[in-house]
Amino acid sequence: MSFSAEQLTEQLIKLGCRSNFKIKNINEFMPANSKEAFYVHEQSGQAKLVIRPVFEVFSDDFEALDGISRIKDYFHSSEMTRFPTRIYKSAQPIHYGLAFKVTSVLAAEQFIKQFNKILTQ
């Protein structure tokens, strides 16, 4: 089942996340009571949630959620300005993070709940 970035954006807003900006196919969000940015990326109609690489230690927790699967490699985009940079396929550093494919409203809700739980630890 395909879950679009538009559907994901609607669900994130219902969950209290705030949208800071949208550039091209990247939309920056922050959870309700946090300044920890994450991004929604849309490609070919498919939604991805992207979080900072520091949360890689929690990848298994996110992947254990029904409807969430991690995308194998790091996701790179110059629009993810709150994320760290690294050299990747060019001489200039580019921002990167961990991307997760989201397939349902429930999966998005569980992901954000898990993310908030990690942030409050």
- The upper half-sphere exposure of residue 2, i.e. CA atoms within 13 Å in the direction of its Cβ, equals 8
CA–CA dist 91, 80 (Å, integer): 18
Per-residue pLDDT band at 45 (split at 50, 70, 90): confident
**Residue 108 host element (H or E):** helix 105-119
pTM: 0.89
Q: Which amino acid is located at 26 in the chain?
A: I
Token pair, residue 11, equals: 């669900």
Answer yes or no: is pLDDT of 56 > 90. Answer: yes
Answer yes or no: is pLDDT of 1 > 60. Answer: no
pLDDT value, residue 30:
94
Answer yes or no: is pLDDT of 50 > 90. Answer: yes
pLDDT value, residue 2:
61
CA–CA dist 43, 50 (Å, integer): 13
Token pair, residue 54, equals: 């520091």
